Amino acid sequence: MSLSALEYGGAGATGAVAHLGGATAALAAHRNPALQPVLEIEGLTVGTDRVDLVLDVSLRVAPGETLCLVGESGCGKSLTCLAAMGLLAAPVRRKAGSVRLSGVELSGLGERRLRQVRGRDMAMIFQDPVASLNPVQRVGQQVAEALRVHEALSQKAASRRAVELFDKVGIAEPARRADAYPHELSGGMCQRVMIAMALACRPRLIVADEATTALDVTTQAQILRLMKALQEEIGTAMVFVTHDLGVVAEIADSVAVMYSGRIVETGSVDGVFDAPAHPYTQGLMDCRLHALAAAGGRLAAISGSVPRPAERPSGCAFRTRCPRASSPCERLPMLAPFGASQRVACHFPGRAT
């Protein structure tokens, strides 16, 4: 299956937000945005006993920064996010590496303490709001419950705060909508509810996995503006997973490109967009709809598909699809500096001459 411009040029996407537990005293003691990133992932490897699905991933996100994680389906983006949140389900597990939130190591914590960390300091926005909201509980009660558990508010205070949050995220008639059930709201409205839930405890980190995938263009633009404005207001760091490079251009400060479980290029959004250095990144950029004019009106595509984890070729996993592949590509390339702001895992970085 080839990757066409249609996958990377559109503006679609649905999201749903899941909000989790409260911060520990130890985590609060380590908060110092001026000195350290909010999220640090180093050497993360995720997989089963038989195969590695994510390999040696390292990422950093600063306070108030948006890091967009891009790549085709099956590249390991969602697994990286789930590992960061401590939400992997057996038989998949973290096999190596560390995850730190404001300097506090999370990878060795037990589930009970992870539940305390998730919530006021970490929240995740999932793709499907219907699956994230309780279908038999009013949406206002669901947001209020999170506030009662993690902020120790009374029922009355939590309900009042839930209505305030609904108003903040742009839900019309917030008091009336708070009494609605999820099936009574549109997909975009459910997304706003989930954003309100995620932001209720003003988390230091938001992980958004395809948060706008199935929304219409207008609703998507509204949601992105809302998330960016609220992020700037409270200084939250955000990891945003998306297939849509238009979204990346709009909201990202930095970009990490994943292919077959590895990071193949990182850098500032301007650096990666203006001068993509890895052949895979270049292929993604060439697949954008606005690149049609430069291609003489033909839809660009990357031939082939992402290899299954158990069938990765030796060396660079992209070499079976890369027009520049040669014998050195049979050796695994390491991320190395390229240009002013990028790091690239390629033996022949830069545009072909």
Looking at 49-53, 138-142, 289-293, 338-342, which range is the least confident one? 289-293
Looking at 24-28, 59-63, 77-81, 140-144, which range is the least confident one? 24-28
pLDDT of the residue at 146: 85
> How large is the average pLDDT for residues 236-249?
90
pLDDT of the residue at 22: 34
What gap in Å lies between CA 144 and CA 139, rounded to an integer? 9
> How large is the average pLDDT for residues 333-350?
93
Quote the strand ranges of the chain, DSSP E.
3-4, 16-19, 39-47, 52-61, 66-70, 93-101, 104-105, 122-126, 205-209, 237-241, 254-259, 262-268, 301-302, 336-338, 342-344
When mean pLDDT is compared over 121-125, 160-164, 199-203, the highest value belongs to 160-164
**Spacing of C-alpha 186 from chain mean position:** 23
pLDDT over 80 (residue 62): yes
pLDDT of the residue at 10: 36
138-169: burial string, b at 16+ Cβ within 10 Å, e else: bbbbbbbbbbbbbbebeeeebbbbbbebbbbb
Ordered by start, the domain boundaries in the chain are: 3-11+18-131+236-344
Give the rounded percent of residues in the chain with a pLDDT score beyond 90: 53
Q: How confident is the model at residue 292 (pLDDT cuts 50, 70, 90)?
A: low
What gap in Å lies between CA 45 and CA 37, rounded to an integer? 20
pLDDT over 90 (residue 226): no
pLDDT of the residue at 227: 81
Write down the pTM of the prediction.
0.83
Which residue would you say has higher pLDDT here, 62 or 233?
A: 62
Q: How confident is the model at residue 194 (pLDDT cuts 50, 70, 90)?
A: confident
| Angle subtended at Cα 170 by Cα 19 and Cα 191, rounded to the nearest 5 degrees | 40
pLDDT digits (tens, 9 = 90+) for 131-158: 889 999 999 999 999 898 888 899 999 9
Compute the residue count for the chain: 353
pLDDT over 90 (residue 125): no
The CATH architecture to which 3-11+18-131+236-344 belongs is: 3-Layer(aba) Sandwich (3.40)
pLDDT over 70 (residue 32): no
Residue found by looking up tokens 């040696």 in the block: 56
Looking at 66-80, 196-210, 256-270, which range is the least confident one? 196-210
pLDDT of the residue at 36: 81
pLDDT of the residue at 20: 31
